[in-house]
Structure 1
Amino acid sequence: MDLHLCCLLDSWALSLAGIVVVVFLLLWLRRREAEDYQRRTGIPAPEGILPLIGHLYQVIRMGVDDYERKWFNEKKTKIIVSWYGKTPLITVADPEIAKHVLVKDFPYFQDRPRRIYTMTQTPVNKGVFFHYGSHWKRIRSILTPTFSTGKLKMTTHDINRCSANLADKMENMAKAKENVEVKQLYGGFTLDAIAATAFGLDVDSINNPDSSFIKNIKEIFQRGMKPWRRICITLASVFPSLYPVLRIFNLTFFNKENVGFFVRQCQAMIEDRKTESSERHVDFLQLMVNAELDDQSLQDQHINSGQKKLTNDEIIGQAFLFFVAGYETTANTMNFVSYELAVNQEVQDRVVQEIKDQIGKDEPNYENVNKLQYMEQVILETLRMYPPLPRLTREIGETVVIKDYTFLKGGTVVIPVYGLHHNPDYWPDPEKFDPDRFENSKNVQNKFYYMPFGLGPRMCLGMRLAMLELKIALVHVLRRVRFVPCQETQIPLKVITNKGLITVEKPIKLAFELRH
């Protein structure tokens, strides 16, 4: 019996020793691989790399912003390479290198990571945001005329109508002395504005939130992803070999039922447009229908030749992207603008006085809202403190050398927008809300430490439309009500930046007071 026990213990000891040897071997190999990458690229890497997961443990434990800040400081650098599984992610906090990535050397960095395309279901992954290479160039060139000055001027009637509805709702809430979660209101406004300017629809989700169209669109963005689903998608982003498995089980970024509803509705609108006179509509959808390629047999030929035609799936993809890009980001920005005006009453008073001086009682339009310089400064400062996308990502398409650093083909570059926007080297007292920073806004907006809409050829197409919506809505609202904090307003605001979009720890709640 004693002999048997001794043999068993010896066997366990040998097994444990074998495991320890294997672990140390994996650690040594992983560290050697990382050191070799540093030697070839000249880009420093944080310590503590682990087999299989790389630096992911540190990122999860510390949070991505604190992780990057720690290693930038310890390495005394503005560029580091971290490993997410086997994928090297090069984080660039140097505005000069960012300028090369986004503009000067754009051909080497023109695509977003392919996993974004892979994890988004067809046909909504046909949107220009998800595309790459020649497909992206062709679709971008078709969509660019949609946001010309002439087209934007045509949208102001619909934006004014939606803004007036929003102001009416807020005025009624002010009379009722309600404390309001303002993001919900702005979500309704932006949904109405997108439906009107892009698709010619009058949905009035502010007052009628229960229609099937409105509920399905909102659920695409508001329905939280179940934890197991989020874990699976995160694992696939670290281990790309899992993508085919997730596709088999239909695990994607957006909910299948809601997206299916949108696709069917969009398809019906497209068919209706084909039977109507194109002169009846001047919106986003009509432009795409006019550019549609009807003959299915010629689609691949036209796509490869770069001609300005869209497939039916591509039209649906752009329509979906219009909602994705315009709904959450614009509503978020209005949410934060309202908060900052509420807690900075002197700023709010200056904006209201400027509206009186520059527009008076006239209806806001494309020309007169551009006179609201201080309001624009308020919006730009809000976008600095709360950029819609806290990080930009680009794939390295070909190996290139920038400032003595070698960017190897196949890696991913990350530009920490939120970190740059809050860096005291570029913004004195960065946590202070100060619209006067943008008194000479054109000088600041050309710097590569300010990029709320991105910069370069892939910067946001809808930037000018979003600014127009924000200004017109603020004119209508601030004429009628004053934003004020309430007992449920979180001061200071606690911001979360590691969930893709800027979010807050607690929903922003404000009160409204009637203006005389």
Structure 2
Amino acid sequence: MIKQILVKRFSDFTDRPQSFQDRKFFDSAVNVASGEHWKFLRTTLSPTFSSGKMRNMTPLISRCLERLIENARNNSENGKSVEMKSLFGSFTMDVICSTGFGIEVDSQRKPNHPFVVNARKAMSANLVGPRILLATMFPDLRRFIRNIPLMDKSALDFFIEATKSVIKERRNSTSNNYRDLIQLMINAHKEQDTKTEEQVGLNFDSYKKRGLTDNEVLANALMFLLAAFDTTSSLLTFTSYLLAMNQDVQDKLRLEIDDKLGTNEPCYDNVFKLQYLDMVVSETLRMYTPASRFSRTAIMDTEVCGIKIPKGLDITVVANAIHFDPEFWPNPHKFDPERFSPENKDNIKPFTFLPFGAGPRNCIGKRLALTEAKMAIVDMVRNFRFITAPDTEIPPKLQKGGLTKPANGMYLKLEAL
């Protein structure tokens, strides 16, 4: 049924549930937009996350990695434990600022930087409050919920004005030296993805080749900021925890890195050739899926697998439940990267591993998230051994809400190598 909704019958389920965002322009974000507007945005933005564009962003991520390693060394002096969620959160923030907005920020050493302060405010939205629960149970209430702000107003206003300023500056600039996402979105109309266009079925000529408006660039830049922070930092946090708990896996991963990369710095091209690294990351994503559920909305009355689905009904896929179903994943609570080995990968039933969703409306930023995460894991494993500490919570209690995060932080020791 999941395959039918996400892929085979996608034309019946092209939309996602109505956004709770209180600002109208958020409807222009690719993960929120609906109908032909979404098709246009997906077609136009897809080249922004191509392998070539990610390759060009490697130097930006590398500079953030240098600060990550330095901060990790400073924080782990004298054998004290390090709170990994904060460490990786600072790294992820730096990457977002650099790759998204073209701004260099050392968020760990400069926590009072306006961009950092407001980003943390904006990302503290309460996604499990009574309003959200009511709107989830009673969809007709959403039109009222939309007028209630879900995030700090001052922080959102700060980013709106800051992003507008960057967009205006770039529109008036003749420089071709910018490689960040805002610049790529401004240039996006020049290379719309015809393959994606065919896949999503873009029909209206009025959208084709027109480029993104300032509001569309603004909405997608801000959504990138909000969506990319917790998801990637959580992946890195839980990977470090699982490696600390499984020293044999950590040793094997370090051996692969030393053998395949030697003294070469991690980059887009070489980290995706590390087979065991991919296995480790995949198994972490199975056990600690950053976004544990996603939804699609029926845009017409339809029937799937003999079940009648009325127009407007939201269908939610709980990826986390599937990832721990013993029917698909034997001994699901065991961390076992070998599930994703070349020998075993073909045994994984389709649509039972969904960390980034599936189908035409899957996560558009998947490639960037994996590039950033894999480069960080390589550099951290090269420089440190992850070790559990007396204050490591085993197993970690998870924070309630739509995103998978440790509720009480993640404390580990980092042994310098």
Tell me the TM-score normalised to structure 1 length: 0.74
| AA at the equivalent of 2:247 | Q
Q: Give the aligned partner of residue 24 of structure 2.
A: 122
Alpha-carbon distance in 1 for matches of 2:349, 2:175: 39
Alpha-carbon distance in 1 for matches of 2:21, 2:158: 19
1:142 matches 2:142: no
1:62-211 maps to which residues of 2 (within 5 A)?
A: 97-114=1-18, 116=19, 118-211=20-113
Q: Which structure 1 residue ranges, 5 or more long, are not aligned?
A: 1-96, 294-301
Alpha-carbon distance in 1 for matches of 2:414, 2:84: 10
1:492 matches 2:389: no
| AA at the equivalent of 2:385 | R
Alpha-carbon distance in 2 for matches of 1:410, 1:436: 41
| AA at the equivalent of 1:320 | L
Q: Is the 8 A contact 1:199 1:285 kept in 2?
A: yes
| AA at the equivalent of 1:395 | T
| AA at the equivalent of 2:187 | N
1:354 matches 2:256: yes
Cα deviation per residue 1:219-254 (whole Å; 9 max; x = unaligned)? 1113657x9xx223433443445445445xx41322
The 3-state SS of whatever aligns with 1:428 is coil
Q: Give the aligned partner of residue 251 of structure 1.
A: 148
Q: Give the aligned partner of residue 173 of structure 2.
A: 276
| AA at the equivalent of 1:200 | G
1:514 matches 2:416: yes
Q: Give the aligned partner of residue 222 of structure 1.
A: 124
Q: Is the 8 A contact 2:48 2:185 kept in 1?
A: no
Shift of 1:291: 4.9
Higher relative contact order, structure no. (Cα contacts within 8 Å, ≥ 6 residues apart): 2
Alpha-carbon distance in 2 for matches of 1:184, 1:176: 19
Q: Is the 8 A contact 2:328 2:348 kept in 1?
A: no
Q: Is the 8 A contact 1:444 1:450 kept in 2?
A: no
Q: Give the aligned partner of residue 11 of structure 1.
A: none
Alpha-carbon distance in 2 for matches of 1:444, 1:132: 35
Q: Give the aligned partner of residue 305 of structure 1.
A: 206
Out of 325, 336, 351, which is 2:227 matched to? Answer: 325
| AA at the equivalent of 1:476 | D
In the superposition, relative to structure 1, how do residues 291 and 379 fare at CA in structure 2: closer, same or farther (>3 Å)?
Answer: closer
In the superposition, relative to structure 1, how do residues 192 and 505 fare at CA in structure 2: closer, same or farther (>3 Å)?
Answer: closer
1:262 matches 2:159: yes
Alpha-carbon distance in 2 for matches of 1:292, 1:257: 32
Shift of 1:176: 3.2
The 3-state SS of whatever aligns with 1:393 is strand
Determine which structure has the larger helix proportion and give its number. Answer: 1
Alpha-carbon distance in 2 for matches of 1:100, 1:337: 32
Tell me the TM-score normalised to structure 2 length: 0.91
Alpha-carbon distance in 2 for matches of 1:380, 1:244: 38
Alpha-carbon distance in 1 for matches of 2:348, 2:16: 23
The 3-state SS of whatever aligns with 1:280 is coil
Shift of 1:446: 7.2
Q: Which has the larger radius of gyration?
A: 1
The 3-state SS of whatever aligns with 1:184 is helix
Shift of 1:347: 0.8
Q: Is the 8 A contact 1:399 1:409 kept in 2?
A: yes
Q: Which structure 2 residue ranges, 5 or more long, are not aligned?
A: 191-202
| AA at the equivalent of 1:469 | E
Shift of 1:191: 1.2
Cα deviation per residue 1:110-162 (whole Å; 9 max; x = unaligned)? 11112x2x444232342111111101000111110011111111011111111
Cα deviation per residue 1:330-380 (whole Å; 9 max; x = unaligned)? 001001001001111111111111111000111112222122111110000
Out of 285, 294, 304, which is 2:182 matched to? Answer: 285
